[in-house]
Chains A and B, each alone.
With several copies, the nearest count.
Chain A
Amino acid sequence: MAWFRKSGKKTPGASEEDLWTVCPSCKAHIYKQEWEAELKVCPKCNYHARISCTERRDLLIDAGTWREYAGHVTTSDPLVFSDAKGPYKEKAAAAKAKTGLKESVLTGDGKLGGIPVSMAIMDFRFLGGSLASGTGEKITLTAEHAARHRWPFIIFSASGGARMHEGIISLMQMAKTCAAIARLNELKVPYISVLTDPTTGGVSASFAMMGDINIAEPRALIGFAGRRVIEETIKQKLPDDFQTAEYLLEHGFIDHIVSRKDMKEYLHRVLQYGKRR
């Protein structure tokens, strides 16, 4: 696989820890090379670990065909927000430095098995994949770009919800992005939503739920309200499978659960049905 990071740091005498990784779900020890070869999916329990937007892009887009779109858009600080841990500006700067991204979503177009597509891929590492002005703007601009070219639009969601630090403007991105999706519907441009771990709050309650078909990765957490908030509200424990992809499938909100290794092929198949005719 093209996208997994070469373990460049490995030196002679590397400790055991460098060779093994621990599955965050079942705690099994997996040989790092296998972990990467399995696309960060646990071979023991099928846990789909979170991956970066570029890793995901490389898994899906034909080599050499990706063109970033709206890449100039970055975070804003309309409220000059600051909390207990300091200014939002610094937090955002740190996120940028850590990830090399300018916002919580990577947007662009490319070919998926030869089919031109427009794509937005959220990255949970960037401030929890939160939806803020830049995120909404990038998704909207890319949806409009897709509309102009009549390219199918695919969003991979991974988000804890709206980003508080940009206040009401973050909330408004729910309406803004959904309006862009509505225009795709009017133009009969396919829109596929893929929900990955986690897709919650304002993202689940906007574009992520509005796909022509909604696909999820296995066991992804998907929901509107947080588990703790719900338990406090209803004063009872929630079932274990609550807000999993499987739970949502059963309740009618997800069309299909697709493993990471099958995702590209599945999307390619689906897109055949959305071809212009």
Chain B
Amino acid sequence: MALDFEKPLEEIENRISELKKLNEKADVSFDTEISALERKLRSTSKRVYSKLSPWETVQIARHAERPLLRDYIAGLCTEFLELHGDRCFGDDQGIIGGFATLRQHRVMVIGHQKGRSVEEKIEANFGMASPDGYRKAMRLMHLAAKYKLPIVSFIDTPGAYPGLEAEARGQAEAIARNLTEMSLLPVPVIVVVTGEGGSGGAIGIGVGNVVLMLSNAVYSVISPEGCASILWRDGSKAPEAAAALKITADSLAEQGIIDEIIPEPEGGAHRDPNAAIESTGDAIVKHLRRLKKMSAKRLIDHRYDKFSKIGRFKSRK
């Protein structure tokens, strides 16, 4: 599944594989041509991916084959004991969580689940969590606090579910409560934006001591489409909105919102999921080691300072 801007690469790839087939059958060798094309592929690749527009990055962040939470768990955790339920209403599948052993560290993993197959997607509501999802997440975070387990929160959601039931059962309240109570968690909280960081639905599990972000992930106050339809009165202006909102990892690092960019394989995490997952593990463990040395009070103050300085007004500016 090539994205629009990947079409030139796809063409070269197709020609290479055609020549390789011919190579097997015919007497003449196409080795030289193949080598040339492969060089061209590498340089074109570099050119295409090194100057992705924000909108193209959005496409990669939403790519159907991009690794999802279950892939990170499978790749990084030798054990995952999924826990269920908000103790109040249900067990939303838009956010899942449980005890996990991540590269030998016992942690509480929580995160958005998007689902891969159609059934999974429907079950997970495409990663759009309901209030019970946010409440389950908070319950598990309180449990982590009791057990003194660090929390690793994976963000990948188009946004919190905008449905009648979700409103009636307090989507706003659930997110607000998480923001409030996460700020007082006495354990390390590491947030990783792996794909889409969609607005309130993202930050609802996003109050971390550190916030990491994959290099092709995006994190935004509103979806580019939503922004375009409001400010441009034209949903098709999403590319412009994506650029204006500065939602890529580079921009967010510049704005001081994220602490580290986790590099993805060229072309995006979906082109080599294992490599992306391993890099993510490396980054998590690095910060985990550091944060584990902090006292509960220090962790709470550290998190408070981190967020209270975002948008701190400097009168001289």
Binding site for B on A (CB under 8 A): 72-74, 76, 78-79, 81-85, 132-134, 136-137, 140, 162-164, 166-176, 178-183, 185-186, 188, 190, 201-202, 204-210, 212-213, 222-226, 229-230, 233-234, 236, 238, 242-243, 249-256, 266, 269-270, 272-275, 277
Contact = CB atoms under 8 A, between A and B. Distances in A.
B contact patch SS: mixed
A196 to B, nearest CB: 15
Contacts of A204: 172, 176
Interface residues of B, number: 81
A254 B230 contact: no
Given A167-B245, A172-B310, A174-B179, 18 more contacts: A81-B244, A133-B311, A134-B311, A171-B200, A179-B207, A201-B200, A209-B170, A213-B143, A224-B162, A243-B167, A251-B169, A252-B87, A252-B90, A252-B170, A269-B79, A273-B81, A273-B147, A275-B106
Interface in B133-172: 136, 143, 146-149, 160-164, 166-172
B285 interface: no
Given A168-B247, A176-B307, A273 B183 contact: no
B86 interface: yes
Contacts of B232: 83-84
A228 to B, nearest CB: 10
A167 B89 contact: no
24 contacts: A72-B315, A83-B231, A83-B232, A133-B313, A162-B221, A166-B221, A169-B257, A174-B175, A174-B176, A182-B181, A182-B183, A204-B172, A209-B172, A210-B177, A210-B180, A224-B166, A224-B167, A230-B163, A243-B167, A251-B85, A251-B89, A252-B85, A252-B90, A256-B81
Nearest to A213: B83
Interface of B: 79, 81-91, 99, 101, 106, 132, 136, 143, 146-149, 160-164, 166-173, 175-177, 179-184, 199-200, 202-204, 206-207, 219-222, 227, 230-234, 237, 240-241, 244-247, 252, 255, 257, 303-304, 307-308, 310-313, 315, 317
